Amino acid sequence: MKTVQDYIRTIPDFPHKGIMFRDVTTLFADPRGFRIAIDQLLHPYSGQPIDKVVGLEARGFILGGAIAHQLGKGFIPIRKKGKLPGKTIEQAYTLEYGEAIVEVHDDAISAGERVLLVDDLLATGGTAEAGIKLIERMGGIVVGCAFVIDLPDLGGSKRLEAMGMDVHALCAFEGE
């Protein structure tokens, strides 16, 4: 029986030399692999009250939308600055070289709503941390952070756990 990791393609030297890019599009393209991933992302949170699912740009939209559909809950995108048409709040975070900003509509989450944050890959945790901060600024409660892939050597899972977050990843690639 194939695991989620078996559906993920590795592309060496993309986008830069020395990077081993973990391509989840091969997982998404396979109906069985995609179903397995969605079911396994949901499993730790079954029975927990969840009001909204938040997906981080861009592959988190695919996963988060499918999870929200499965739960019968609303989906909220957290996007790069300048991509949302309504009134937003924003959160800056640091990248390897510089800074980036993500934002969400300021009325997307109500105080007290329980939110599951979803993305395809957890590396340093900067984007996820920014998403968590946005959710919490609106009064939302993050019930968990679910990822397909964890790159534990880059420290993202430890970073989020230090924030008190429950982190769930379907597979890990060491030595990244």
The catalytic site residues sit at 59, 96
Q: Do β-strands 98-105 and 74-80 pair in parallel, antiparallel, or remain unpaired?
A: antiparallel
Q: Which helix (H) or strand (E) holds 133?
A: helix 126-137
C-alpha closest to that of 107 among 80, 88, 79: 88
> Phi-psi category of 18—alpha, beta or left, where left has phi over 0 and alpha has psi -120 to 50?
left
| Spatial contact of 147 and 168, defined as CB atoms under 8 Å apart | yes
Measuring CA to CA, how many Å separate 89 from each of 38, 54, 65, 115?
29, 15, 21, 17
